[in-house]
Structure 1
Amino acid sequence: MEIKKDILWRAYLCLIGMGIFAVAILGKVFYIQHVKGDYWRSMSDSLHTSYMDLDADRGTIYSEEGRMLSTSIPYFDIRIDFQADGLMDKKANIFKDNIDSLSVRLAALFMDRSANAYKKLLEEGYKDKDRYFLLKRDIKFDDYQELRTFPMFRLGRNKSGLIAETKNKRINPFKLLANRTIGLARENSQNVGLERTYNESLNGVTGKRLMRRIAGNTFMPVEGFDIEPENGKDVITTLDVNMQDIAENALMKMLVQNEAEHGTCILMEVKTGKIKAIANLGRQKDGSYWEDLNYALQVGEPGSTFKLATMIAVLEDGFVTPNNTVDLNYGRWPVGKRVVYDSEPHHLTTVTIKRAFERSSNVGMAKLAYQYYYKNPNEFANHFKRLHLDTPTGIDIVGEGKPVIKTTASRSWSASTLPWMAFGYEVLQSPLQTAMLYNAVANNGKMMRPYLVNAIMEFGKPVKSFEPTVVLDSICSPRTLAQLKDMLEGVVLNGTAVKLQTPYYRIAGKTGTALVANGNRGYADKIYQSSFAGYFPADDPQFTCVVVIKNKPHAAKFYGGTVAGPVFREVADKLYALAIQKPRPINGVSVLDTLMAMKGGKGSEWRSVVTALNLPWQGVINNSNWVSTDVKNNKVSFESLSQSPGQVPDVKGMGLKDALYLLENAGLRVVIKGAGRVTSQSLPGGTNIGKEQTIIIELG
C-alpha cells in the first residue's frame, strides 16, 4: 500500500506541475497576443518591410537654342503578381484563357525565346504563386506600351497582376558632340562634366517606397506607401549645337589627317564669355577619336601663343614700341649654358619688334624679357598675375588644371627661366586661359570669365540665371591695346599665319609651336604641340577661337600655322557663311519649350490632363472657363481668365491653338510672330475691340 501511495503522489505531483506549466504557457500566449501584440506585430513588419529609395527623374541638359544634349529615357522591368485578385478568381479563369495568346505575343515582341518557352515560364510562376515574378528587364517605352495591349495584361493590374517598375537611363542624343563637357551620369562611378558640376540641381530629391520581403529574398512594393520624389531641374547651357558640330568636325578632320594624339577647339563669344563650342578629341587604341578627356582644361607649356602676354608687359611698361628694333641673331641666341632657337630657320638680324612678333621669334621675345627684366624678374611675372594667368579661369565645370607662373621664389627658378618664359616655356597654362586672354583683346581690353550655363530651370521658369562676369575691366591701356590688335592682324597678313587670309573678313591671331617632353625620354621624340589663338572678324570681333593639337612623334607637319591654323580657318569660314548674328539677350531659354513648361488653355482640357496624370493641383478649372497656369508649392496652379464680350482676350502664356481660337472668335485679325507660347500681344487684355482690328501676338 505504501508503495502505491508513493507512486500516486508522484503522479499527482507531475500532473499538477504539467497543469501549472500549461497555464503559464497559455498565459504567456495571451500576454504576447493581447498585451504585447501591437509591439510584436510592428517588429514583424519591420523585419519584412523596409523603405527603399525611389529615384527622381533627372533633369535635362539643353543647348542654348533648346536642343537636348543629355536626358533620361525610361526603361521598365516587367513583373507579375500571380496572387492578384483577378488571377486568383477560379471562376474567371483569366490566366488559363489568356496564356496561349499571351505567350505568342511575348515571343513575337521580344524574339528571345519561343511561345512554348514563354508559356512554360509563365506556368511555373503561376504554379508557385509568385507575387513578384520577373518576366523581362529593361524594355523600352514603346515595347511597354505595346505590352499593355497584350491578352491578360490589357485587363489592368488588379486582374492581370502586371507590375511595371520604371527606371531611367541617361543618354546623350548627339553622342560625340561636346560629350566630355556635357559629361556622363554614371551609377557606379563618379560623374564628369556638367553632369557632375550641376549634379545636385539635376538629381532632384529622392523619394521612398515601402517594400515587403517575400519568398526568395525578393521585395515587392506595398501600395499606398510611396513618398514621391521631386524631379530634377533642367540646365540650359551656352553651347550651340551647330557651332559645336562645326568645331568638332574641323578638329576631327585635322587629327585624322595628321594622326595626332589629341586636340581641343574652343569657341567663345567675345562680348559675354559664353562658351559656344568646346571640342575635345583623343586618339583611341583602334585609331579612332573620341571625347575622352577635357583637354581644354589641362595645363601645359603653351608655346608662342603666350608671346601676347610678353608683349603686354613690355608695351605697358613703356620699354618699347612695335616700331623699335631687336636683333634676332639669325634665330640662335646663347643664354648661359642653354641656347634659344627660333622654331623656323631664317637669316634675319635686326627687325622691328612687330616683325619679330609676326615671325614668332623666340629669340626676339627672350631678348626683350632678358634686357628689361633681368634685374627684377618678378616685375615681369607680376604682369602675368595681373592678367590672372596664375589662377584657374573659374569656369563652371569640375577638373580645371592649376596654372603655374614662376617667380624667383619658385624652387625650379634658374638663370634661363626668365627668357624662356617670354616665349611660353617654364609656364603652365590651359587652352581655356589662352582663350580668356585673347578674348580680352578682342573685347577692347575687358576680360570676361568663360562660362557654360545660362540658367537652371524648373517647370519652364528660371530658378537661377547666370550673367556675364567681368574679371578685369581693362588688361592694358588703350594705346597698348591698339598696338596689340595691329600686331595680331599682322601675324595673318605678313607672318606665320599668312595662309589663313581670306578676302571676305579679317582674322587676328597668333600661331604657336611648342616642343613637348615625352616622360623620361624628354624631347628626343620630337613631339610638337601646334596651336592657334585668335578672333574674328578682326574689325568687329564676335568670336574668339583657340585650337591646340598635340601631334604624334616625328610628325611631318607640326607648325601651328599649318596644323592648328586650318582648323581655326574652317570654323571661322563656316560661321561667317552662316551670317554671324549679334548675341541674343541672356534670358535662360526664351525658345525652350519643354514638357515641364505650363501653358494656359481651356479648363476642360486641363481637367482631363491633371486627372489622367494624377497631378496635384489647386485653383478653379471647369468645362467653361479659360485658365492661366503656374507651378506653386509643387502643384499646378490655375487662375480663371475673364473673357468679356467685346473686349480683347488676355492670351499671354497660351499656346498658339488656344490663342487663335479666342482671338479670332472675338473678331480680331491675328498676325503671328515666333513659335512656342504667347509672350506678348499688341492689344492688352481687356481693351475694347474696334471694327476689323488687327492684333499681333509674339511667341517664344
Structure 2
Amino acid sequence: MNTPLRRLATVVLAMFVVLMAGTTWVQYVQADSLNNDPRNVRTLYREFGNARGPILVAGEAVASSAPVDDAFGYQRSYTGGDLWSTVTGYYSVVNGRSELELAANDALTGRGDQLFFTRARDLLTGRRPEGAAVETTLLPAAQQAARDGLGGQEGAVVAIEPSTGKILALVSTPGFDPNTLATHDTAAAGAAFSELDAAEGNPLRSNATRETYPPGSTFKLVTAAAALESGAYTPQTPLPAPVTLDLPQTTSTIGNFGGGGCGADPITLADALRVSCNTTFAQLGMDLGDDALRTQAERFGFNDPSLTIPMEVDASVFPEDLDAPTTAGSAIGQRDVRATPLQMAMVSAAIANGGQLMKPYVVQTVRSADLHTVDETEPELLSTAVSPGTAAALRDMMVGVVADGSGTAAQIPGVQVAGKTGTAQTGDDEAPHAWFTAFAPADAPRVAVAVIVEHGGSAGNEATGGRVAAPIAKSVIQAVLGS
C-alpha cells in the first residue's frame, strides 16, 4: 500500500474510532442525564403518556393527573391556586419541573428504585405503568394560616414539628398558580412562565428555602447559645449595655433599636435577649470570637450545602475569617450573615427539642398505585445543636421575650410561647425585614415557626419583627395547636 493510501486509511480508522467513542459516550455514559433532562421532548411525551402520581396533603390530592385526548395523554392539574405552589412547584411540557415535582419525579413517574418490583409486575402483566403517590407532612390549617397571614406581602413562613422534623407549613409569597404552566398549550405555557419569571418578587423562587436574608436579631439566639455553651455565661450573667458601642479598628458604632438604651447597664443575658439589646450582643460576639459563633451556627445547620427536604435548600451562611467589627455585626445577624426562613425555624426547633436538631422533611410516605407503602421517611437526627441545659435556658429566655419583651404580639391565652423578634437592616435604603421565630407550647413543644416579611410589608419603615411577623407566627401556632 502506498503512502497516500496508508494515510487515508489511518484517517478513516481514526474517524471510526471517534464516532464509536462518541456514540458510546452518548448512549451509555450520558444516557441517564439525557433521559432525565426536562428539555428532552421524548422524555416528556413518555412521562405525560403515563399516569403521574398525585401529591397529597392530609389525604387529598393537591396535584394530580387525568387522561385527556391529546398527544400527551394526561393533564397535570393543581388545586388551591398558589396555596401549595411553594411545595408542589410545577410540571410543564415547556418549562420542565420544580420543587417537589422535580425532587420526587422518580417516584411520581414510577421510575424510582423503590418501585422496581412494581415496574416488573406491570411489565409481566401488561398493566399500564402508573406513578406513585407522594404524601406530604403538611398540615392544611397551618398552611392556610401562614398564607392568610402573609396576605399580599412578600415573605415566607416555615413551621416544623420539633420532635420529628416534619414540615407542617411551607409558604412563600408571592406564589403562583401552577395550572398556568401545566397547560398543554405550549405557547400559553411559555408566555405564563415568562410573565412569572419577570414578575416582581420572583414567584417561581421559594423565599422559604431558596432565598437567604440577614436574620437580624433572631440570630441572637445563636449568639446566646454560643455564650451558654462556652460555660462562661449563664442567663443571669451581667453584661455591658451602652447606648452605643464603639467598634475597634474603625470609627463606626453600633446602636440599639430606636437609638436608646436597653433599660439597664449592666444587663443580664436573659434581659438582653428579652429586649433585644444590640450593643450587648455585639460586644458579646466580639468577646466570644468569630470561631465560637461559626461553630455554634454550624451546629444549627448554617454552612451546610447538602441539606434537602427533599427539594433543594440554599445554604445559610456564617462567613469565615471575621475581624472584630464584622464579628460584632455578625453577632446581631447583620453584615454577611444570611439565613433562609427554614434555617431560623430549625434554630427554634432545635431549642424546643432539647438541643436535638432533627432533619426537616416534607415527604412522609410514597405509595405505589396499588396503595402499598414503598418508602416512608423516618425522623433523623441532623445534629446536637446545644446541650439540654442550654436548650432549657434558651427556652426560658425566649418565654421572657413573648411574656414581657419585644414579642408580646405572639402571646396566646393559656399557651406559653417562646420566641425571638428580629428587625434586619437590608443595607439598600429600603425598609428592614421583619422576622419572628418561636415555638409552643414552651413546656411541650408541638410546633416551631419562622416568619419573614420582606421590607416590613405593608408597615414599611415602621415595621418591627414584633409588630409585623409575630402575629403571623401566632396564627400558625394556633392553627397547629387547634388541629
Q: 1:239 maps to what in 2? A: 138
Q: 2:186 maps to what in 1? A: none
Work out the CA distance in 2 between the residues paired with 1:342 and 1:305: 15
Q: Which amino acid aligns with 1:329?
A: P
Contact 1:58 1:202 (C-alpha < 8 Å) held by counterparts? yes
Q: 2:330 maps to what in 1? A: 421
Work out the CA distance in 1 between the residues paired with 2:218 and 2:131: 42
| Cα drift, residue 383 of structure 1 | 2.5
Work out the CA distance in 2 between the residues paired with 1:387 and 1:555: 30
C-alpha distance after superposition, 1:284-334 (max 9, x if no partner): 999999954211112222111111111111111112211121222124444
Q: CA RMSD in A?
A: 2.6
Contact 1:325 1:351 (C-alpha < 8 Å) held by counterparts? yes
Is residue 2:444 matched to residue 1:540? yes
Distance 1:415 1:332, change over 3 A: closer
Q: 2:88 maps to what in 1? A: 182
| Cα drift, residue 447 of structure 1 | 0.8
Distance 1:515 1:556, change over 3 A: closer
SS of the equivalent of 2:233 reads: coil
Contact 2:89 2:99 (C-alpha < 8 Å) held by counterparts? yes
SS of the equivalent of 2:399 reads: helix
SS of the equivalent of 2:315 reads: coil
Is residue 2:342 matched to residue 1:432? yes
Is residue 2:276 matched to residue 1:360? yes
Contact 1:178 1:280 (C-alpha < 8 Å) held by counterparts? no
SS of the equivalent of 1:416 reads: helix
| Cα drift, residue 489 of structure 1 | 0.4
Which residue among 384, 389, 392 is the counterpart of 2:302? 389
Q: 2:242 maps to what in 1? A: 329
Q: Which moved more, 1:483-492 or 1:234-243?
A: 234-243
Contact 2:86 2:170 (C-alpha < 8 Å) held by counterparts? no
Distance 1:299 1:177, change over 3 A: same
| Cα drift, residue 179 of structure 1 | 0.9
Which residue among 451, 465, 477 is the counterpart of 1:572? 477
Q: 1:134 maps to what in 2? A: none
1:469-480, aligned counterparts within 5 Å? 469-472=380-383, 474-480=384-390
Work out the CA distance in 1 between the residues paired with 2:456 and 2:165: 32
| Cα drift, residue 463 of structure 1 | 1.0
Q: Which amino acid aligns with 2:299?
A: R
SS of the equivalent of 2:451 reads: strand
Is residue 2:178 matched to residue 1:266? no
Which structure carries more relative contact order (alpha carbon 8 Å, separation 6+)?
A: 2
Q: 1:338 maps to what in 2? A: 252
SS of the equivalent of 1:551 reads: helix
Contact 2:286 2:324 (C-alpha < 8 Å) held by counterparts? no
Distance 1:166 1:304, change over 3 A: closer
Work out the CA distance in 2 between the residues paired with 1:236 and 1:404: 31
SS of the equivalent of 1:538 reads: coil
SS of the equivalent of 2:92 reads: coil
Q: Which amino acid aligns with 2:392?
A: A
TM-score by length of 2: 0.77
C-alpha distance after superposition, 1:79-112 (max 9, x if no partner): xxxxxxxxxxxxxxxxxxxxxxxxxxxxxxxxxx
Q: Which amino acid aligns with 1:175?
A: G
Work out the CA distance in 2 between the residues paired with 1:566 and 1:288: 25
1:121-270, aligned counterparts within 5 Å? 167-204=73-110, 229-252=128-151, 256=152, 260=153, 262-270=154-162
Distance 1:333 1:489, change over 3 A: farther
| Cα drift, residue 552 of structure 1 | 6.0
Contact 1:204 1:229 (C-alpha < 8 Å) held by counterparts? no
Work out the CA distance in 1 between the residues paired with 2:306 and 2:391: 21
C-alpha distance after superposition, 1:516-566 (max 9, x if no partner): 13xxxxx3x232111100101112110011101102699143100001011
C-alpha distance after superposition, 1:330-361 (max 9, x if no partner): 24444423211222332343211111111111
Unaligned runs of 5+ in 2: 1-44, 112-125, 177-194
| Larger-gyration structure (1/2) | 1
SS of the equivalent of 2:330 reads: helix
Work out the CA distance in 2 between the residues paired with 1:202 and 1:490: 46
Is residue 2:71 matched to residue 1:69? no
Contact 1:55 1:229 (C-alpha < 8 Å) held by counterparts? no
1:630-641, aligned counterparts within 5 Å? none
Which residue among 513, 528, 531 is the counterpart of 2:423? 513
SS of the equivalent of 2:346 reads: helix
Contact 2:456 2:464 (C-alpha < 8 Å) held by counterparts? no
Q: Which amino acid aligns with 1:429?
A: A
Work out the CA distance in 2 between the residues paired with 1:166 and 1:400: 32
Q: 1:682 maps to what in 2? A: none
| Cα drift, residue 232 of structure 1 | 1.2
SS of the equivalent of 2:73 reads: strand
Contact 1:393 1:450 (C-alpha < 8 Å) held by counterparts? no
Which residue among 286, 306, 316 is the counterpart of 1:370? 286
Identity of aligned residues (%): 27
Work out the CA distance in 1 between the residues paired with 2:354 and 2:306: 19
Contact 2:216 2:332 (C-alpha < 8 Å) held by counterparts? yes
SS of the equivalent of 1:455 reads: strand
Alignment coverage as a number of residue pairs = 398
Distance 1:290 1:242, change over 3 A: farther
Q: 1:277 maps to what in 2? A: 169
| Cα drift, residue 229 of structure 1 | 4.7
Work out the CA distance in 2 between the residues paired with 1:289 and 1:400: 18
Work out the CA distance in 2 between the residues paired with 1:394 and 1:282: 24
Q: Which amino acid aligns with 2:171?
A: A
Work out the CA distance in 1 between the residues paired with 2:272 and 2:213: 24
Contact 2:436 2:452 (C-alpha < 8 Å) held by counterparts? yes
Structure with greater strand share of residues: 1
